[in-house]
Amino acid sequence: MRIFLLLLVFSVHATAADRKEWTTLADCRYVAHKNNDGDSFHVRCGAEELVLRLYFVDTPETNLTYGERTRQQAEHFGVTLDETLKAGAKARVLVRDTLSTPFVIITRKAYAQGAARDPRYYGMVQVGGKDAGKGLDEILVLAGLARVKGVAVNIPGGEKARAHSQRLLVLEEHAKQKRRGLWARAPE
């Protein structure tokens, strides 16, 4: 039932988000900023600087500013609030370290509303090159530092939002079975 509801939500969001054209931003760089976390962070691509919010995933918060969301994250992983916050800090470090070399962003520049003051745009990050790279969403889920949740879109190249979400859910289950990240602390 959980998977069905997630896919239904992703389908509705995918339809609304599919109206803009995709843009590929190459040679992007991570920009250190106090508000960066695992799923939303500052980047520079050429002369353009923006805040990117990842499609498909939600990483743990790094503080209790959004207490209800943090409680939901803790509940999802079956851990305490303190463990959730520590995992949020680990997700932030993993993203910073993973993006220490140039990367590619694929975005529609769809506005990602949030409580932050800086405007955020949804996108996907590929590390390791435009065509051969791995998605940052996959890396975070496999590390047990993100749950499959959030806005989803059909991906350039033909992958449907539902298929990508299902693939991420398989990776999440794998991380859970291998007890990675927050899943290492979750009760069996």
Residue at 149 is within a domain: yes
Residue at 162 is within a domain: yes
Residue 170, pLDDT score? 97
Average pLDDT over residues 69-73: 95
DSSP string covering 37-86: -SSEEEEEETTEEEEEEESSEEPPPSSGGGHHHHHHHHHHHT--HHHHHH
Spatial contact of 151 and 112, defined as CB atoms under 8 Å apart: yes
Residue at 25 is within a domain: yes
Number of structural domains (the chain) is: 1
CATH number for 144: 2.40.50.90
Most confident by average pLDDT, 65-69, 154-158, 173-177: 173-177
This model's pTM is above 0.75: yes
Residue at 188 is within a domain: no
**Domain, as residue range, for 31:** 2-180
Residue at 8 is within a domain: yes
pLDDT one-digit tens code per residue, 45-58: 999 999 999 999 99
Residue at 37 is within a domain: yes
Spatial contact of 90 and 8, defined as CB atoms under 8 Å apart: no
